[in-house]
Structure 1
Amino acid sequence: MMLNNVYIKLLGTIVMSIGLMVILFLSSEEQVHRNNAFIRRFPPHPVIKEYDIDLGFNSYYVAGLGKDMVYLGNSTAPLHLLKINLATRDTAHVKLKLSNTDLPFKNVHVQVQPPFFFVLDGSIPYIFRGSTNNWVAGPWMRNEAYFTKSLVLDSNRIYIKTMQNDTRTVTLGLLEKRDHFSVELHPEILQRQIDGVFDVDGIMLTTPDKTRLGYVYFYRNQFMTMDSRLKTLKRQQTIDTVKKARIEIAQLDRSKTSKMKSPPLVVNTKATMYKNFMFIASDRLGKNENREILKVASIIDVYNWSDATYRYSFYLYHMGKEKVHGFSVNDGRLVALIDNALSVYNFREGFVDHTPYGEQENITGQ
């Protein structure tokens, strides 16, 4: 009888422990997604879906976007490009050719800016440039500068993110080729909070006309906008309230290599710029928002960087269980990569021009 009581007590303890763990897990999940300190505005139907195009794979990314043309690169087939006419919905496969394919490529990325296209790998480092007339590229840069991310601005200038040698922190800069190569770093833009590497991680952006550059932090409620020379820096907060990155860093070895101890709190997941608007995707829920929405849609918050205001939010609905893994805006149209498809939306009048929509909320810049 005593043995049975012991088993009953032990079973009860185990059940209580499991129950407590479940409660703590659900509570932590709620904290990750919930922030009752802000309220979103959802006007009726800012974007209206026009059509979907089945791509067959989910490995595509936007490599270039024009008025009626979108170019999609493929992360699993680096020298394959898909060209789509958004007006006619015609698609064409393009095979890129490089003058040298024997290099130790690790992180190839393609960007199209007619009449040129670029094939970039900052880990080698090597950049090819070619013409969109024949899609053949030769060396444009050899071993001049390492970089982790890049955005082509024009035929001779590239916006980069790299590691600064003396401080071992991440910084933004410009790579330019005129009579010779120059690398211009701007360490004042990214503000260190913890380690200057993980805590400043984020998304590099540019407007379609390349006149304005941007950067959105992953782990805090701030983004920056700059002119095309990384000057006239302006900082703006999002509607979220997480001002400091919530990450823990662990050092792996004596070489000072480090990694995150646990998954960080992600405030902003994806972003794009168009005209004076910043579009930021966030999985963080505001007051009175049902967390079930995150299972079926991505939330896009829209800011006007020129007057430091939050404008409105809208949903981009998933296809099946797959989330939006990339989106861009140009010429009053939004294109989103969702699962294996390219989804094309049109903005209703007044939502992506300089005319204010309804009541605005001012977000204090710094």
Structure 2
Amino acid sequence: MMMIPVTSVKRFMIQTICSLFAGLFIYAAVSKILDFENFKVQLGQSPLISAYAGLISWAVIAIEIIIAFFVIIRRTRTFGLFASLGLMTMFTAYIFLILNFGSFIPCSCGGILEKMSWQAHFIFNIVFVIMALVGIFKNEELKQSNKKNVSKAKLTQISVIVIILSTTVMIVLFFTSETIMHKNNPFIRRYPQHPVEFSALVDIKYNSHYIAGISDSRIYMGNYQYPAYILSFDHNLKKRRVEKMHLDLKSKPFRTITVNVKPPFFYITDGTVPVLLRGKIKDWKITKDLKGIPYFTKAVIMDSLSAVIRSNNSKKAANVIAVFNSDATEKISYKRALLEKQKDGIFDTDGMLLYSSESELIVYLYYYRNAFFTADKKGTLLSRGNTIDTISHVSFKVSTLNNGKSFAISSPREVVNAKAAVYKNLLFVHSKIKGKYENEKLWNRSFIIDVYDLKTMTYRMSFPIYHTSGNQLNSLMISDNNLYALIGTDLVVYKLSEILKKEIK
């Protein structure tokens, strides 16, 4: 019986291992190159290394190709196998961190490997780590088969060092990337898997509606054109109801009536009168006139007796935030330091006024720059923050007309933050600015919603709300379980997933 020399077996084993590594790395590198933009986008959305996506995307490809050549060439084979061990350890540590510590699970590989589950990919990587170790020891045995000074202890020591260093590098990348992404975001969005899921849609036919409020059982729609009528649906959009308020439109010179529903009350506001009326939704009758409110351009109800407003009662008609309390001796308290002027104090401070009843937070988000602030119920500033885009100053020009008596925008203006909603500690912002590594198709067919934690003033995640028959997002509102969006004439309901719910404090 013919015996195969041990040396030949070792040589075949090493050759096979090296060929597998070379094939794996070349295949992976070529797959990434052929779909490089998608690969870079996926890395940018990773919950571990988002902040370094630009550098890592090229570095990984280059390293994979270099290592592939090292393992093929006999003189550099040992070094190539150690490099393979390090790289596969990093990949394995990456997947372990994704599965156990990541806020969501992305995809960042190409070709056939993309079809593996993350658990299968983890096992696949471990197998290659073991193969690298076997190749290292067998290759050194083959190189020094005629020598007596082969040190397995030294090889073991180096291997352990490589594994520890590779794992440490990935852990450091993870923690530093998390800090950068949440607090010093370089305009990279993160898209977890399905933080919201489509639930229902109804076409309400007219584009004059807006979302007026939410109760435990219904969502209420106001109508700018017919303000006395309230349209409501159950949360599945199945049961439709129309209510008529007992509102005498001729009793006051109403011009811009807005209805706010905060059960058990509803409120009617019109800053041109000015007026703030309150009634109960059980019969839709107005029962109280909250007198003493000044003229205003925006008003948000805080409770049954108070509201936060934006007025022009300031120098040169600049915007100013004020707190109104109908039960106080001093009914109105102006907070002139809240809005920060950049040009005229009117257009440059324009934005959205919001209030979180659950957290008792006033929130103001600017339209034309990446800034917002929070204040308590009395209008005391709590914190200032920024959205993740890079537009910190308004880009348009303002001209003075009529000898300084009026102002007008005299250049194109770019909207940064188009719509927003607040719920408990979270701020939801419809951003109009495209970030790094954005998926072009996703951007073109959806509204991108960025989520911020108002307690920590950090960016948390982003998700798309897809266009329906319309491509204009008119209203946005959030409840415990649902997100409601008015898109054109379509009222759409998305259910909040556990990924998003756990961010709500």
TM-score of the superposition, structure 1-length normalised? 0.82
The Cα shift of 1:143 comes to 6.4
The Cα shift of 1:150 comes to 0.4
Equivalent residues in 2 for 1:2-17 (5 A)?
Answer: none
Equivalent residues in 2 for 1:106-145 (5 A)?
Answer: 106-137=255-286, 140-141=289-290, 144-145=293-294
State the distance in 2 between where 1:270 and 1:347 align. 19
1:323 aligns with: 472
1:259 aligns with: 408
2:228 aligns with: 79
State the distance in 2 between where 1:146 and 1:355 align. 35
Secondary structure of residue in 2 paired with 1:233? strand
Deviations 1:167-221 (A, max 9, x none): 5321111111116561111111111111111101100111243612211111111
- Counterpart contact for 1:65–1:208, Cα < 8 Å: no
Instruction: Decide whether aligned partners of structure 1 residues 179 and 349 sit closer, same or farther in structure 2, where only a CA change above 3 A counts.
Output: closer
State the distance in 1 between where 2:206 and 2:504 align. 38
Instruction: Decide whether aligned partners of structure 1 residues 355 and 341 sit closer, same or farther in structure 2, where only a CA change above 3 A counts.
Output: closer
1:66 aligns with: 215
Q: Which protein is richer in helix relative to its size? A: 2
State the distance in 2 between where 1:140 and 1:181 align. 17
Equivalent residues in 2 for 1:152-171 (5 A)?
Answer: 152-166=301-315, 168-171=317-320
1:47 aligns with: 196
Deviations 1:86-137 (A, max 9, x none): 1573121011112563322111111112222111111111222222121121
| Identity among equivalent pairs (%) | 32
Instruction: Decide whether aligned partners of structure 1 residues 238 and 297 sit closer, same or farther in structure 2, where only a CA change above 3 A counts.
Output: same
Secondary structure of residue in 1 paired with 2:312? strand
Instruction: Decide whether aligned partners of structure 1 residues 139 and 126 sit closer, same or farther in structure 2, where only a CA change above 3 A counts.
Output: farther
State the distance in 1 between where 2:311 and 2:502 align. 34
TM-score of the superposition, structure 2-length normalised? 0.60
Instruction: Decide whether aligned partners of structure 1 residues 60 and 50 sit closer, same or farther in structure 2, where only a CA change above 3 A counts.
Output: same
Secondary structure of residue in 1 paired with 2:299? strand
The Cα shift of 1:292 comes to 4.9
State the distance in 1 between where 2:216 and 2:293 align. 34
Unaligned runs of 5+ in 1: 1-35, 357-366
Structure 1 residue ranges (4+ consecutive) displaced by more than 3 angstroms after TM superposition: 141-144, 290-295
The Cα shift of 1:263 comes to 2.7
Q: Give the one of 291, 305, 309 matched to 2:454.
A: 305
- Counterpart contact for 2:308–2:321, Cα < 8 Å: yes
The answer to whether structure 1 residue 278 and structure 2 residue 423 are counterparts is: no
State the distance in 2 between where 1:125 and 1:255 align. 26
Amino acid at match of 1:119: I
The Cα shift of 1:238 comes to 1.2
- Counterpart contact for 1:64–1:71, Cα < 8 Å: yes
2:368 aligns with: 219
State the distance in 1 between where 2:504 and 2:222 align. 34
State the distance in 1 between where 2:489 and 2:249 align. 31
The Cα shift of 1:252 comes to 2.6
State the distance in 2 between where 1:208 and 1:300 align. 21
The Cα shift of 1:83 comes to 1.7
State the distance in 1 between where 2:246 and 2:375 align. 34
1:178 aligns with: 327
Unaligned runs of 5+ in 2: 1-53, 55-185
2:347 aligns with: 198
Amino acid at match of 1:150: A
The Cα shift of 1:322 comes to 2.2
Instruction: Decide whether aligned partners of structure 1 residues 103 and 333 sit closer, same or farther in structure 2, where only a CA change above 3 A counts.
Output: same
Amino acid at match of 1:264: R
- Counterpart contact for 2:314–2:320, Cα < 8 Å: no
The answer to whether structure 1 residue 56 and structure 2 residue 208 are counterparts is: no
- Counterpart contact for 2:187–2:388, Cα < 8 Å: yes
- Counterpart contact for 1:216–1:224, Cα < 8 Å: yes
State the distance in 1 between where 2:214 and 2:358 align. 10
- Counterpart contact for 2:292–2:326, Cα < 8 Å: no
The Cα shift of 1:225 comes to 1.5
Secondary structure of residue in 2 paired with 1:350? helix
State the distance in 1 between where 2:427 and 2:328 align. 35
The answer to whether structure 1 residue 95 and structure 2 residue 244 are counterparts is: yes
- Counterpart contact for 1:316–1:324, Cα < 8 Å: no
State the distance in 1 between where 2:241 and 2:492 align. 17
- Counterpart contact for 1:285–1:291, Cα < 8 Å: no
Number of aligned positions between the proteins: 321
State the distance in 1 between where 2:365 and 2:423 align. 14
Secondary structure of residue in 2 paired with 1:214? strand
> Which has the higher mean CA deviation after the structures are superposed, 85-94 or 260-269?
85-94
Instruction: Decide whether aligned partners of structure 1 residues 42 and 195 sit closer, same or farther in structure 2, where only a CA change above 3 A counts.
Output: same
- Counterpart contact for 1:277–1:352, Cα < 8 Å: no
Q: Which gives a bigger RCO, structure 1 or 2 (Cα 8 Å, sep 6+)?
A: 1
- Counterpart contact for 1:171–1:190, Cα < 8 Å: yes
State the distance in 2 between where 1:200 and 1:349 align. 36
Equivalent residues in 2 for 1:318-357 (5 A)?
Answer: 318-354=467-503
CA-based RMSD: 2.1
